[in-house]
Structures are given as structure tokens and as C-alpha cells.
Amino acid sequence: MTNYEIAKSWIKESKYLVFFGGAGVSTQSGIPDFRSQNGLFNDKNAEDIVSNSFFYKHTKEFFEFYKTKMVYLDAKPNDAHKILAKWEKEKKLKSIITQNIDGLHKMAGSSNVIELHGSIHRNYCINCNKSYNLNQIMKNKEIPYCDDCGNIIKPDVVLYEEALDYTNIIRCINEIEKADTIIVAGTSLNVYPAVSFLTAYRGRRLIIVNSTKTNGDDYADLIIHDKIANFLNYVDK
């Protein structure tokens, strides 16, 4: 059997399937990833710009970068998002853990999604905590300010120098511990603590699908070098 055939049989037999995805899941929706040849972080200043300290010290410059490089209003779910949403409805897939902030899994119809790094679709005032949607952020030409108290509105995304939401961490670990099969896709697993989550997995059916090698390959029971949409389309036949 080929690795594709083995993976398909594991997924078919799974009683608790979990999907763990990164930026590569959304590249076929026209959103660039971070660390490939054409990735967002090839700009040597990018990681500094998307940091907590930069947000507060250089708020205008932060939003200029954020609105042009991290928000893609025209992006739509691709085959990977759609198939995963279909599997959830069919009770084949228990949960999605994503490092992406684009909200495309939920747009595709998935409901049990753990957004580890937050979402561009949620925004809040740093003072009174009033919520704002993405359109309300994007309509401001420079810095978005709260209608109620006049303070800055901050995207609910995890920046460098910030910790992940504790509730999301616990949910993520719980899902991985319960899983009998995990698909890890579209992520290099370079960003802490992504690869450390995989140590919670106790099964023997960890499938990594990525175009290149990852930091989690040593944990994998099966490795497939391909785009995740291609792989999921094969499995879903």
C-alpha cells in the first residue's frame, strides 16, 4: 500500500479524528504562508512588526502592515476547508485545531474549531472591551478607535511576546489526548508551542501532510509531501 492508501484506511477506521493545521491550509485560498520562499516573514522586519510591543509603540505602522499583509478580505474556503467541514457534519472529524487567524474553517461551516492564534474577525477595545467585527476595523484608514471610550481597538490575534489563551491550550491538549488519529497539515511546526502539543498524543496514527520537512517529522507515523487539499480530495473519494 502507498502512504496515501494507508492514510485513507486509518482515517476511515478512526473513531476520534483530529485535524491540526497551519498556514499551508490556506495558501490555496490565496493567503501566503509565513516561512516559505515567498512567505510573509521573508521580510526581516515582519516578526518585529507583529509583536505586542510594536503594536503599542507604533500603532499606525502596525495597522498599515496588518491590514495589507495579514487580512485578505476576498479569501474564500478552499477544498481543504470544505472537506473538513463535510467530515465534521458526517461525524468523521471531531475537531480542528488551527494556527491560522483567517477564519476560513468557520466560514466553510466547521463549528468545533480551536483558533490557537485568534481570529481577524474578532476585535476588541483595549479599555472597555467592546467587540468589533473585521469590517469595522478595515473601514478606518489608520488606527481604529472605540466608539464608546475612544481607546484603540486591538485585533484578537496572538502577537509575538503574547501568550496563547490558556483555555485554548487546555482544549487543544484534551483533543490531542483523545485522538486515535491526527492529521497535521500545512505547518512547519516551527512556532512554539505547536510541536510540543504533539507530545500529548498517545496513539500510533499521526499523519503529517506538508510540502516540505517539518519539525514534527520525528513524531510522525506517516509522512506525505503534498498540498493538503490534494491529499484530502484523494481521501474523500
Are 80 and 149 within one domain? no
Of 89, 82, 146, 135, nearest to 112 (Cα)? 89
Are 54 and 138 within one domain? yes
Mean pLDDT of all residues in 101-130: 98
Are 80 and 188 within one domain? yes
Number of other CB atoms surrounding residue 127 within 10 Å: 13
Among residues 81, 105, 117, 121, the one annotated as catalytic is 117
Residues 195-231 have pLDDT tens digits of: 889 889 999 999 999 999 999 999 999 999 999 999 9
117: annotated active-site residue: yes
Q: Mean pLDDT lowest for which of 34-43, 44-53, 126-135, 163-172? A: 34-43
- What span, in angstroms and rounded, lies between the C-alpha atoms of 228 and 219? 19
Of 205, 229, 233, nearest to 14 (Cα)? 205
Are 179 and 215 within one domain? yes
Please tell me the number of Cα atoms within 13 Å of 35 on its side-chain side. 13
Sheet holding 153-157, edge to edge: 131-132, 118-125, 153-157
Report pLDDT for 149: 97
Report pLDDT for 45: 83
pLDDT above 80: residue 41 = no
Residue 139 belongs to domain with CATH number:
3.30.1600.10
Mode of pairing for the β-strands spanning 206-209 and 181-185? parallel
